[in-house]
């Protein structure tokens, strides 16, 4: 059940495996817009943005969205999506580890399992990079799986289908030593992602000049460590 393990797996990961179903994106984006966009003109940095199927709902609420993604196809799709909706947006191809936002954004939007791709040291450096993109008083939002759920039984196939559409279902193993999930498809290793619990996130936030101010489960419902996802909001001091 192995395969060649590549620490830069995200550079060759199949396009159609990255994206939530459109239905899930609407649900996520609508909930995020309602909770996070407090006034028109908010500067949102969606990084990595994929094809912007989630952050377009923030733009519909009046946010000014800038997106960065490593995948040129996704950036093209994001531009087309915004153009078709008659919305302005700025989208660029680039590595999120080099992200910058001159002047500082109001909200750094890290959605859908977009944190934990690297080593602990690189993840800490990326956390600092995100913090550096945010203006004082601005916020970072991270949406990632809850550690307890990752360690537990696999997600039922019907729930996976609702989230990921017809994308093949991965089999996950949690490595307690490295605190990473290892994903397999047809018996071959696909990717690895470091999972952090809420206390680890809080420590990283503090080290980067951020403070955890809110925690939720999916769709911004009250936080429950036994729910599938956690949404953390940190504010820059």
* Tokens (6 digits) for 80: 């087309």
- Grade residue 1 by pLDDT with cuts at 50, 70 and 90: very low
Q: What is the pLDDT of residues 116-143, one digit of tens each?
A: 999 999 999 999 999 999 999 999 999 9
- Grade residue 162 by pLDDT with cuts at 50, 70 and 90: very low
For residue 185, the SS3 value is strand
Q: What is the pLDDT of residues 72-108, one digit of tens each?
A: 999 999 999 999 999 999 999 999 999 999 999 999 9
pTM: 0.90
- Grade residue 209 by pLDDT with cuts at 50, 70 and 90: very high
Check which CATH number belongs to the domain holding 79 and give it: 3.40.50.150
Within a domain: residue 42?
Answer: yes
pLDDT of residue 169: 62
Within a domain: residue 65?
Answer: yes
Which residue segment(s) compose the domain that 39 sits in?
13-146+197-236
- Residue pair 189/4 in contact (Cβ under 8 Å)? The answer is yes
Within a domain: residue 3?
Answer: no
- Grade residue 11 by pLDDT with cuts at 50, 70 and 90: confident
Q: What would the mean pLDDT of 193-214 be, rounded to a whole number?
A: 96
Beta pairing partners, 105: 134
For residue 147, the SS3 value is helix
Tell me 160's DSSP state. H
Q: How many structural domains does the chain have?
A: 1
User: Strand (E) positions, the chain?
Assistant: 43-46, 64-69, 89-93, 105-110, 134-145, 171-175, 180-185, 188-194, 210-217, 221-222, 229-236
């Amino acid at each position: 059940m192995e395969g060649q393990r590549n620490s830069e797996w995200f550079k060759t990961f199949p396009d159609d495996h990255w994206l939530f179903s459109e239905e899930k994106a609407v649900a996520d984006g609508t909930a995020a817009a309602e909770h996070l966009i407090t006034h028109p003109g908010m500067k949102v940095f969606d990084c990595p943005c994929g094809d912007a199927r989630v952050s377009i709902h923030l733009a519909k609420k009046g946010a000014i969205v800038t997106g960065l993604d490593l995948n040129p196809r996704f950036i093209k799709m994001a531009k087309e999506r915004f153009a078709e909706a008659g919305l302005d947006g700025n989208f660029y191809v680039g590595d999120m580890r080099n992200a910058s936002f001159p002047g500082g954004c109001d909200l750094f939007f890290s959605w859908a399992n977009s944190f934990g791709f690297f080593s602990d040291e690189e993840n800490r450096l990326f956390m600092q990079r995100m913090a550096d993109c945010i203006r004082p008083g601005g916020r970072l939002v991270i949406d990632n799986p809850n550690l307890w759920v990752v360690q537990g039984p696999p997600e039922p196939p019907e729930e996976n289908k609702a989230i990921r559409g017809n994308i093949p279902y991965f089999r996950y193993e949690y490595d307690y030593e490295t605190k990473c999930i290892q994903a397999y498809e047809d018996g071959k290793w696909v990717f690895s992602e470091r999972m952090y619990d809420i206390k680890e996130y809080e420590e990283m936030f503090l080290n980067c000049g951020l403070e955890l101010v809110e925690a939720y489960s999916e769709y911004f419902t009250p936080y429950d460590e036994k729910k599938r996802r956690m949404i953390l909001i940190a504010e820059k001091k």
